[in-house]
Structure 1
Amino acid sequence: MSESLLSVGRDNVPYSRPETPNSHPAPRVGFVGLGSMGYLMAQNLANHRASLSNGNPPLLIWNRTKQKSENLRDALGNDKIRIAQDPAQVALECDVIITNLADDSVVKYIYEEFTEALRRVPPSQHRIFVETSTVSPEVHSLGGELDALISSIPHSHLITCPVFGPPAAAAKSQLLIIMSGDYRSKKEVAYLLVPAIGRKVVDLGGNIEKGLTPPYSLNVIDPSVAPTFKLVGNSMILGSLEVLAEAYTLAEKSGIGADNVHSLVQEILPAPSIVAYSDKIAHDKFDGSVGFAIDGGIKDASHIRRLTAEVNSPMPAIDVAHQHLLTARAIHQSKKQAGKVKFETLDWSGIVAGTRVAAGLDGLDSKK
């Protein structure tokens, strides 16, 4: 067993190890969705599996834009990556299928493709679907639909498995992985994902949609946990980003330099994500191709707001943040049409454009 696997302890993975890999063939793993996060997750997973000595087959990948799949295969080689013709091939040929997709509609479409294929050719052995996207947790929501779809297939289980961390954390396999669903499946998948993709697994029990419900037991079985938990975490990050943007704007209007504010953030709020976003705002580093695109931020903010309305738990900071994200996107699109920006996609730290404009400043250029 490799040294990297031996280093993964109970502090990182809350389950005992599965049966020794020597008694079973190496699992066939597929990955669907190569966006800014998915590409890095698939890349790290393929590299890690190839570094082990238990004869892991290449990672089978599929992406709607085939060029991304070809780019990953060309970067890593045919011994690490194999490209599927369609999502159905991934579902039919793999024991573990990981998905990281853009939004609810894409997730639903892909899982319908999976189940249609498996109804034609039912699996004869255990099959695990690992859904890592950020999806809506509403009542009668997508999580419940996916669970019903997968549960209708023999020997098949769904794990909802959203991840915390920006692309920079994904690149370093430092994501925090949240799991809910079938215990045996989580146990099998956890050691596949840590340390290959993430640094730690948090187990939220059998509920695949909602999250912890009173009395806050981790063993509730009621369609929902991890997606709601992910949105709670995202609300903290987005709320912090909104306050950071407002503070930078106040400092700018008060004549305090951005570098001074950034130094203060490093001293009193030294969380890596806060410091990273502070640096982006301080130096107008708003290129979304190397961060988290603002469209994804607006999607997450919309999910959070729907959740707050559903459970009657107001979050005014998120309401304001959502408005500022929309304003920032509109400003960026206007500047892009006029040929006045250098990057195609705006990072969600560009939320500061909303607060800057409200204060009579230029949205995306703090030097003006």
Structure 2
Amino acid sequence: MAANSGLPFSRPPTPKMPPSQVGFIGLGNIGYLMALNLANCGPIHIKDFLPLLVWNRTACKAGKLVNDVGVNKARIAKKPEDIMQECDIIIINLSNDDVVRCMYQRLIATLKNSPPIQDEILVETSTIYPSLAAELDLMVSSLPNSHLVTCPVLGTPIIADKLQLLLVMSGNYRARREIAYLLVLAAGRKVVDLGEDLEKAPIFKLMANSMILGNLEILAEAFTFTEKSGIGAQNVRDLLSNYFPAPTFVSYPILACADKMLHEQFDGEKGFSIDGGIKDALHIRRLTAKHNYPMPAIDVAHQHLLTTRAIHTRHKSEDKATFDVLDWSSIIAGTRAAAGLDGLDGRKVSELLSESLEHNL
């Protein structure tokens, strides 16, 4: 065990460290903060760390990152292929499986035209279905000196901002070791090492997300129950603080999502999008079907996420949507709709309940 408790590996041999260049593709909510921290902290923890090379489909995000850290710590690539040609380590963080697959096809085509002379490591940090990891490995391993590490991360944007992400890692041993020493302290706090099988890390990430999504479903049902019964949603929030005080369990995601549900702060640009939640739910259900293991809570959560997205789509078509992208905590709209309440407008929920109370009296 290394001196740093977050690292399950001995330090890599010094000739390979530091890498000549690190690149980052995909600056979403988590990816942006990972890249920001890596650009800022890389020079502190790794000798002669070069400015991070970044690319994002929306160029303004890459420009914002460079403005945030300074031109001496990051620079912008014109296209992903430039990152593949210039970098020894490429970290990829994208939204879904199709986008990930397309990106790798572009990157591998670049390497086929100019095969790497020294080791090249691609680090897949997106949440993907496990079989896609095997597919990507076939692409990467077809080239000399090229390795893939699957490294999905666990944590909210707040946790990412504090460099406290949990790094779940599988793949080639030496490559895992290199990436662990690059990312721990510069982007995350600890590595969960799952060995050589590249599919293990994506499976672990989906398992973790199933726990989070299941808790979101229970939380949404509890809020809706108190709204419908007239107890008041604030009492659910207070119950969480007073009766379930375990810091890790409560802070992520329970209290944070409880606050979003209570105040209808469903801005997906600041959290985890509902599309990402639906994608993960589909992956989880596919895995449970493969292993003959039912997870009814996820089935119900998936239905409520779809209902919420349908409501939001209608609101957008009517130009009534408060947010362009919904956070997955908006799952409560699905439980409200199932209870005959307005999904995304708490004021209407209160009005309906008041009318119902007056009628009963």
Q: TM-score surpassing 0.5?
A: yes
The CA deviation string for residues 80-131 of structure 1, in whole angstroms up to 9 with x for no partner, is: 1111122221111111110001111111111111211111111111111100
CA-CA distance at 1:333 after TM superposition: 2.0
CA-CA distance at 1:26 after TM superposition: 4.4
TM-score, length of structure 1 as denominator length: 0.89
Letter of the 1:155 counterpart:
N
Letter of the 1:234 counterpart:
N
Matched, 1:177 2:134: no
CA-CA distance at 1:241 after TM superposition: 0.4
Matched, 1:189 2:179: yes
Give the corresponding residue for 1:156.
Answer: 146
Q: Which residue of 193, 201, 210 corresponds with 2:191?
A: 201
Give the corresponding residue for 1:215.
Answer: none
Q: 1: CA distance between counterparts of 2:318 and 2:78?
A: 39
Q: 2: CA distance between counterparts of 1:19 and 1:48?
A: 21
TM-score, length of structure 2 as denominator length: 0.91
Give the corresponding residue for 1:213.
Answer: none
Q: 2: CA distance between counterparts of 1:297 and 1:245?
A: 15
Matched, 1:70 2:50: no
Give the corresponding residue for 1:285.
Answer: 265
Give the corresponding residue for 1:165.
Answer: 155
The CA deviation string for residues 117-149 of structure 1, in whole angstroms up to 9 with x for no partner, is: 111111111111100001112xxx211111111
1:259/1:282 contact within 8 Å kept = yes
Letter of the 1:331 counterpart:
I
CA-CA distance at 1:52 after TM superposition: 4.5
CA-CA distance at 1:359 after TM superposition: 1.0
| 1:111-122 superposed matches below 5 A | 111-122=104-115
Q: Which residue of 9, 21, 31 corresponds with 1:15?
A: 9
Runs (5+) with no aligned partner, structure 1: 1-7, 210-224
Q: 1: CA distance between counterparts of 2:70 and 2:185?
A: 21
Give the corresponding residue for 2:240.
Answer: 265
2:18/2:46 contact within 8 Å kept = no
Structure with more of its chain in helix, by fraction = 2
CA-CA distance at 1:51 after TM superposition: 3.4
Give the corresponding residue for 1:307.
Answer: 287
Matched, 1:103 2:96: yes
CA-CA distance at 1:53 after TM superposition: 6.8
CA-CA distance at 1:350 after TM superposition: 0.3
Going from structure 1 to structure 2, the CA distance change for 1:51 and 1:324 (only over 3 Å counts) comes to same
CA-CA distance at 1:203 after TM superposition: 0.2
Q: 2: CA distance between counterparts of 1:299 and 1:182?
A: 27
CA-CA distance at 1:277 after TM superposition: 1.0
How many pairs were matched up? 342
Runs (5+) with no aligned partner, structure 2: 349-361
CA-CA distance at 1:336 after TM superposition: 2.6
Letter of the 1:154 counterpart:
P
2:19/2:88 contact within 8 Å kept = no
2:151/2:169 contact within 8 Å kept = yes
Matched, 1:33 2:26: yes
Q: 2: CA distance between counterparts of 1:237 and 1:268?
A: 19
Query: Residue 177 of structure 1: SS of its match in structure 2?
Result: strand
Give the % identical residues.
57
